Each structure stands twice: as structure tokens, then as C-alpha cells.
């Protein structure tokens, strides 16, 4: 090769510059790379290599090349927002597979509203948020009639939504998946990706409906059907078996190891051994009324209520009656109980009393007036009924069917604090997780507006790491915040010395503390929130290699944060990529010449 000329290729035209004394020249334009020989010009554009005879203008596509080596030249950031790590989650209906209704989480000491999520108008009547939400992996997942939502646990910001074909049961979480039963239209069972809300699989169980929350235990999914049976699937949606009953199954199954328990309208409680490929009946117990309450298993006993105002405690292994307890009214015990510390906590939607009974009482048949079985009873004036109780950290949380909920001392029944509302409670009881309390309310206007409330103190900040590739180097940016962060981007880093992201918090003490590598972007800095100065901006803190910027804002609505620096990493120098480019093009040209010689 002899003297060649430097050329640029732009808008389909080739322009000649003065010759330079090089054997070859590589030119970088904004989007294309050129390799020049005295005879031909090669242009690498996107993933294609084009060839033209110099001066003739028309280019010919000669081969496809991988340009992975050049992708790192783009300024991009990997989205890495970190959700809160749930220490004491609530992963399913009644907390666990035994349906104990008992969690080690503590209850907030006050009724401070942390955030409210509005699911909008349902337009279908007073169903509200029908069932118990679940809290897991920093997400709150709940159903509203025929929709499912996931929101950020710390802020209530929506992550995803899913539209189902019918009204849904309470969700159950297991291994990154969410399982829900379909109660109307074409009944069925649906499995969603907990991170994205994407449907993974769905089973059509029509003409039967699933009225109780699915149970997931040891890789299996169990649901009761109105078509007089309980059905088992594996977590991938594969059908395994069904067990027929003499009446519809409205309750959610409970489990203890290989034992499965569920009740039916045929007045029987069934116990199955499900360790094999088909279920084996261990025993069944006949009650004095239909059984629609879900069983709770604790201390070697199974507890459940009947429609004939009676609570039963059976020996888990044999099905023999240990004790029963009946009220003096005609209440239907369709609520599941909570069991903790040798105490059974019981409520009914038909009765205004809350009961705390001794689980270890002597065998026998008891009534409401018997003191031997009773720890305490509480009646709240004006309350006609209660949703299911929850035991949490030595306290009982109960939601009335009117417009209030109460936090009680579990040992005495004394009210610790309560909350009245002008709204009406959802059909699902309040639940407790990570030291906060969640409950649903609706407003009985024509549209039936639906809200989910989070009660408690603000969550601590979480720290997210974002990998930024710029100027041929990689940098880690640490972002500590108590808000939800979206759209972290560095597209304007090299051109405008600016990075940006969106935040949405709870509107009180919202903050960010971002740590930037000085080699990537250095100060002085200007920080804006929706184009305005932050509520508070601390003096930048530097350790010589990184600078931290701490600022606050009020973020109940999405806001845009922009951070502009003074000095940015230089563009990746052309000389640094010459060896890669030259090698790639040289190999291609050699291959083309060999083909021509053949």
C-alpha cells in the first residue's frame, strides 16, 4: 500500500481530503468507522461492513460483523433499583401453609398513614380489595376484583398490573411466582411472575370456581373447587390429581408436612396424606354444619369453624375430637382463626365479639359461658362483626365489618389503639409485615373507589448500584434513597455533563444520597428537582476519589432529578480502539481476497 487519503462518508457522499503520508488511515465519524486503502474504502456501519471503489460512490454490503467491542463505547446505565428486603414478610393467605394467622412481625405503635395506593374505581359494588394482600421481596401484591397489582412496599408506587378474566382470590407467593384462584366467569387458576406480573400459566377449571386462596406447599399447588373436589397441580401448572367430596369446597387448604386439610359444605373436614403421586385419605370428621373456614394447624391440632356457630379442635394425626366450643347465638364461623402461644383467637362476621380461647384446655364440649376455656372476650359497641384476626408480636389486629380496626393486647384484650374511618373496610382483613400494617378501604360512591393503606413509620433507605459505561471505562454509582427510583440514565453524561433519574416518595423526609466517581463526573455540581432547587442540599462530601451529594424533596408525585457536573470523563480516544478496529477489518479483507483468488 502506498499513500492514502483520509476520507469521511456522510449522507451517502464520499468527499476527498488532502492526502496524508500513511499506509492506512482509520477515521471515526459520529456513527461510522472507515478503513481506507489506495483502491478501496471500507465502511463499518451498525453491524455491516460496506465496500466501495474509491471515488465511485456506490457501496456494496460485503459481510456482517459483530461489533460487540464497540457497544461499550455507548453511555448506558444498567437499571439496578433495589427493593426493600422483607425481614418478616406475609407471603400468603393466613401467613403460612399451616394458616396459623400468626407472624413474628411487630405491630406499629400508632396509626400513622405511611402511604395510600388508589386502585381507582371498580364500578362493581362494595367488593373493594377483596382479599388479603401479600408482602414479599419489597412488594405488596393484592387483587381488586378482577385485577392484580404490585406496588413498592416502601412507597406504594405501582410496579405492575394484571387483568384477569374473573374475580380473584387472595394471592399466594412461592419461588418468584404468584398464584390466584378465579372465582367467577370461567373459573380457574392463574400463575404470574411476581417481578413483572406476566402470566406464566393458567388452568381452566370451569364449570367449577376456586373460592379459597391456593395453597403452595413442597412444589405443589392445591385448590378447592365448587365442583365438589380438591385439585392438585405442580408449580409448573401440570395436573396431578383430584380428590372428590360430597359438597363444594370453599375453604383454602392448609398443610403440615405431608398432611393436607380442607373442609367442605358436606359438613366434613378431610385429612389427606399427599406424599405420594395420589392422595391417601387418613380420616374425615363430620361437624354439625357446612365448613367454609380454612383450617389452622398448630400444636398437633387442627382448628376450624362451622356454619352452626361451633369451633372444633381435632387431633391432627387421628381426627379425633379434642374439644369443641359453641356460642349462644347463631353466628357462622367462616373466618379462620389465629393460633399463637397456646391461644386461639376467633371472630365472626355475624357476631360483634372477639374471643381468645385456651388451646390446651381439657378435652370436652364447651359453650360461650364456660370460663375454663376462655382467656378473654371483647365486645365493641356498634360493631356487628369482624374479619379474620391476625396475631403479631403479642398483639391482635382485628378489622370490623363497619369502618374501624383495633390493635389489642393479645393477653388481655385491652385496646392499645384503634382507627376509625369514614370509608368501609375491604373484604380482606388487615395484615402485618415488616413492622407495618396494611388494610383496604372503599368509598361507597357510585364508582366504588378502592384504596390500600400502609400504616407505620417510614422505611429506612435502600442502596442501589448502577453500572455506568462511559468513555471506555466502567463506573459504579451508589444511590441511597427512601424513594422509588425509575429511568436512571446517563445519555447526557458526555455531551452535557449530566445524569438524571425519576423519584417518587411518600412526601415526608424524602431523600437521596448519591455517590459519584470523580473520574466519571466531578464538581462543582448543580442538583435540581423538576427544575427547582431541592428542599435541602448538604455540602458535597468527598474522599478524594468519590463525591456524595445529599438532598431532600417532597416526592408524593413523580419528579425528575438532574445532576450536572463541571468535568466529565473524556470521550474514548480514537487511538485506543484502533487496534481492535484494524484487526477486525484486516481479517475481513484478507478473507475477501482469499475468496477472490479461489
428-442: pLDDT as tens digits: 788 999 999 998 876
Return the number of other C-beta atoms located less than 10 Å from residue 160's C-beta: 17
pLDDT given at position 178: 98
Mean pLDDT value across residues 175-202: 94
Question: Strand, coil or helix: what is 418?
Answer: strand
The DSSP annotation for 515-571 comes to EEETTTEESS-EEEETTB--SEEPPPEE-SSEEEEEEEE--SS-EEEEEE-SEEPPP
- Contact present, 223 and 210 (Cβ < 8 Å): yes
Q: 279-288: buried (b, 16+ CB within 10 Å) or exposed (e) per residue?
A: beebbbbebe
The Cα 155–Cα 138 span in angstroms is: 10
* φ/ψ (deg, to 5) at 574: -60, -40
Do 280 and 259 form a contact (C-beta atoms < 8 A)?
no
Rounded Cα distance, 210 and 180, in Å:
9
Length of the chain in terms of residues written: 598
Q: How many CB atoms lie within 10 A of CB 548?
A: 15
Q: Which CATH class is domain 102-455?
A: mainly beta
What is the tens place of the pLDDT at every residue in 526-578?
A: 999 999 999 999 999 999 999 999 999 987 889 999 999 999 987 544 444 55
Q: How far apart are CA 585 and CA 591, in angstroms?
A: 10
At residue 581, the pLDDT reads 60
CA angle 414, 420, 423 (to 5 degrees): 145
Split at pLDDT 50, 70, 90, the class of 579 is low
Identify the band that residue 111 occupies on the pLDDT scale cut at 50, 70 and 90: confident
Say how far apart CA 120 and CA 108 lie, in whole Å.
27
Predicted confidence at residue 544, as pLDDT, reads: 92
Q: What is the pLDDT of residues 319-357, one digit of tens each?
A: 999 999 999 887 889 999 999 999 999 998 887 899 999
What is the pLDDT averaged over residues 369-380? 94
Per domain, the residue ranges of the chain are 4-72+573-597, 102-455, 461-568
- Identify the CATH assignment for 461-568 out of 2.60.40, 1.10.10, 2.40.50, 2.160.20: 2.60.40
**Predicted local confidence at residue 214, as pLDDT:** 97
577 vs 251, residue with greater confidence:
251
Task: Band the pLDDT of 81: cuts 50, 70, 90.
Answer: confident
State residue 53's pLDDT score.
47
| 563, 492 contact by CB (below 8 A) | no
Note the pLDDT tens digit of each residue in 2-49.
222 223 322 333 333 333 333 333 333 333 333 333 334 434 343 344
The span from the CA of 105 to the CA of 432, in Å, is 7
Grid cell at residue 34: 472507515
SS3 string, 184-238, reads CCCCEEEEEECCCCCEEEEEECCCCCECCCCEEECCEEEEEECCCEEEEEECCCC
Q: Tell me whether domains 102-455 and 461-568 share a fold.
A: no
Residues above pLDDT 70, as percent of the chain: 79
DSSP symbol at 298: E
Instruction: Let me know: does 424 contact 405? Beta carbons within 8 Å.
Output: no
Q: Is the pLDDT of residue 121 over 70?
A: no
Cell of 394: 403479642
- CB contact at 8 A, 414 and 377: no
- The dihedral over CA atoms of 168, 169, 173, 175, expressed in degrees to the nearest 10, equals -60
Amino acid at each position: 500500500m502506498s499513500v492514502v487519503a483520509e476520507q469521511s462518508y456522510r449522507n451517502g457522499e464520499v468527499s476527498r481530503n488532502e492526502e496524508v503520508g500513511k499506509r492506512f488511515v482509520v477515521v471515526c465519524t459520529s456513527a461510522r468507522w472507515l478503513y481506507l486503502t489506495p483502491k478501496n474504502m471500507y465502511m463499518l456501519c451498525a453491524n455491516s461492513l460496506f465496500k466501495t471503489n474509491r471515488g465511485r460512490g456506490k457501496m456494496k454490503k460485503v459481510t456482517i460483523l459483530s461489533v460487540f467491542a464497540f457497544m461499550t463505547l455507548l453511555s448506558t446505565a444498567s437499571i439496578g433499583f433495589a427493593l426493600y428486603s422483607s425481614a418478616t414478610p406475609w407471603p400468603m393467605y393466613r401467613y403460612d401453609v399451616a394458616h396459623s394467622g400468626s407472624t413474628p412481625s411487630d405491630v406499629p405503635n400508632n396509626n400513622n398513614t405511611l402511604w395510600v395506593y388508589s386502585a381507582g374505581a371498580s364500578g362493581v359494588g362494595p367488593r373493594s380489595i377483596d382479599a388479603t394482600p401479600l408482602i414479599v421481596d419489597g412488594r405488596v401484591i393484592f387483587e381488586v376484583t378482577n385485577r392484580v397489582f404490585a406496588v413498592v412496599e416502601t412507597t406504594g408506587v405501582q410496579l405492575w398490573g394484571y387483568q384477569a378474566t374473573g374475580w380473584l382470590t387472595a394471592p399466594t407467593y412461592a419461588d418468584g411466582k404468584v398464584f390466584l384462584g378465579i372465582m367467577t366467569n370461567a373459573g380457574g387458576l392463574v400463575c404470574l411472575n411476581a417481578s413483572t406480573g406476566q402470566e406464566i400459566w393458567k388452568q381452566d377449571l370451569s364449570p367449577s370456581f376456586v373460592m379459597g386462596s391456593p395453597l403452595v406447599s413442597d412444589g405443589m399447588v392445591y385448590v378447592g373447587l365448587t365442583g365438589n373436589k380438591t385439585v392438585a397441580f405442580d408449580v409448573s401448572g401440570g395436573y396431578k390429581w383430584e380428590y372428590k367430596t360430597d359438597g363444594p369446597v370453599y375453604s383454602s387448604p392448609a398443610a403440615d408436612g405431608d398432611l393436607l386439610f380442607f373442609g367442605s359444605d358436606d359438613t366434613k373436614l378431610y385429612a389427606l396424606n399427599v406424599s405420594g403421586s395420589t392422595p391417601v385419605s387418613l380420616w374425615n370428621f363430620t361437624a354439625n354444619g357446612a365448613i367454609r373456614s380454612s383450617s389452622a394447624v398448630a400444636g398437633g391440632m387442627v382448628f376450624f369453624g362451622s356454619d352452626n356457630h361451633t369451633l372444633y379442635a381435632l387431633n391432627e394425626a387421628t381426627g379425633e375430637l379434642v374439644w369443641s366450643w359453641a356460642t349462644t347465638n347463631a353466628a357462622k364461623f367462616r373466618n379462620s382463626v389465629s393460633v399463637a402461644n397456646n391461644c386461639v383467637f376467633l371472630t365472626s362476621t355475624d357476631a360483634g365479639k372477639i374471643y381468645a380461647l385456651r388451646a390446651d384446655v381439657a378435652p370436652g364440649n364447651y359453650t360461650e359461658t364456660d370460663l375454663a376455656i376462655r382467656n378473654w372476650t371483647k365486645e365493641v359497641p356498634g360493631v356487628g362483626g369482624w374479619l379474620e384476626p391476625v396475631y403479631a408480636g403479642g398483639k391482635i389486629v382485628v378489622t370490623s365489618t363497619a369502618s374501624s380496626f383495633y390493635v389489642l393486647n393479645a393477653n388481655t384484650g385491652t385496646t392499645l389503639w384503634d382507627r376509625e374511618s369514614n370509608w368501609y373496610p375491604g373484604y380482606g382483613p388487615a395484615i402485618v409485615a415488616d413492622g407495618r400494617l396494611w388494610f383496604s378501604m372503599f368509598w361507597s360512591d357510585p364508582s366504588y373507589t378502592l384504596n390500600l393503606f400502609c400504616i407505620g413509620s417510614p422505611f429506612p433507605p435502600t442502596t442501589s448500584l448502577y453500572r455506568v459505561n462511559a468513555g471506555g471505562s466502567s463506573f459504579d454509582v451508589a444511590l441511597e434513597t427512601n424513594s422509588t427510583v425509575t429511568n436512571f440514565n446517563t445519555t447526557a453524561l458526555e455531551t452535557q455533563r449530566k445524569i438524571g433519574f425519576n423519584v417518587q416518595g411518600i412526601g415526608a423526609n424524602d431523600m437521596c444520597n448519591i455517590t459519584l466517581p470523580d473520574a466519571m463526573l466531578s464538581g462543582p455540581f448543580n442538583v435540581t428537582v423538576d427544575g427547582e432547587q431541592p428542599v435541602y442540599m448538604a455540602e458535597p462530601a468527598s474522599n478524594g476519589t468519590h463525591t456524595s451529594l445529599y438532598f431532600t424533596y417532597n416526592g408524593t408525585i413523580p419528579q425528575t432529578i438532574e445532576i450536572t457536573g463541571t468535568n466529565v470523563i473524556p470521550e474514548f480516544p480514537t487511538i485506543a480502539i484502533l487496534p481492535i478496529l484494524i484487526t477486525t477489518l484486516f481479517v475481513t479483507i484478507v478473507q475477501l481476497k482469499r475468496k477472490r483468488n479461489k
